[in-house]
Amino acid sequence: MTDLGFRMHAERTPNPDSIKWVLGDPVAEAGVAASFDAPVGEDVSPLASRLFAVRGIVGVFFASNFITVTKESDVDWQDIAQDLVDAIKAHVDSGRSATGPAYTQQSSGPAGAVEGRIREIIDAEIRPAVAMDGGDVVFAGYREGRVEVYLQGACAGCPSSTATLKFGIEARLREEIPEITEVVAL
């Protein structure tokens, strides 16, 4: 019998080693974005644990209704695509949360007036645009004109991440907040 309720499709990202899997229903609770660059146990993320069990997977990122999976460069997508689809479907069918009881969300640094404005711009403008390509940008901190961010999902290791960082994120933040001198990825 076919499950007509399960909908998912793959989208290419600017990173040739990352694919964004878009689901018809949310895979993560509202406000949760999780990034893993190494295998984790089911107590941290049952979803990431299943995906890392697929040969050649080196990164998992999920938020809202999409999952970005990053593979080793020498692994062909055709060789692992069905295993990834099966792992995602098995997770959805399990009804379990994408995150487990041992998961802790990455903190986004201290708050202040400039930091608050940076977070507003990142959350309202930059994160939605980057999410369209299967990635995320998380504010890590600000000091002496320097903004620090984490690039996650398809953005981590992407050949065009430097352009995204300098010509996208840095340009937009400097336009609104002149005291910013640079944006760097941690």
Structural domain spans, the chain: 8-94, 113-185
What pLDDT, on the 0 to 100 scale, is given for residue 4? Answer: 59
Percent of the chain with pLDDT over 90: 58
CA 5 from centre of chain? 25
Assign 69 a pLDDT band (cuts: 50, 70, 90).
Answer: very high
Nearest Cα residue to 84 out of 60, 120, 116: 60
Nearest Cα residue to 43 out of 104, 108, 106: 104
What pLDDT, on the 0 to 100 scale, is given for residue 158? Answer: 80
pLDDT single digits (tens) 146-156? 999 999 988 88
What pLDDT, on the 0 to 100 scale, is given for residue 1? Answer: 43
Please check whether residue 71 is in contact with residue 58, taking contact to mean a CB–CB distance below 8 angstroms. Answer: yes
pTM for the structure as a whole: 0.75
Q: What is the mean pLDDT of residues 40-47?
A: 96
Q: Residue 63 pLDDT > 70, yes or no?
A: yes
Nearest Cα residue to 184 out of 157, 161, 153: 161
CATH of 8-94, one of 3.30.450.20, 3.40.50.1820, 3.40.50.12780, 3.30.1370.70: 3.30.1370.70
Q: What is the mean pLDDT of residues 41-52?
A: 97
Q: What is the mean pLDDT of residues 173-180?
A: 92
Q: Residue 23 pLDDT > 80, yes or no?
A: yes
Q: What is the DSSP letter of 27?
A: S
Q: Residue 3 pLDDT > 60, yes or no?
A: no
Q: What is the mean pLDDT of residues 94-99?
A: 93
CATH architecture, domain 113-185: 2-Layer Sandwich (3.30)
pLDDT single digits (tens) 97-115? 999 999 987 655 556 788 8
CA torsion sign for 71, 76, 81, 82 is: negative
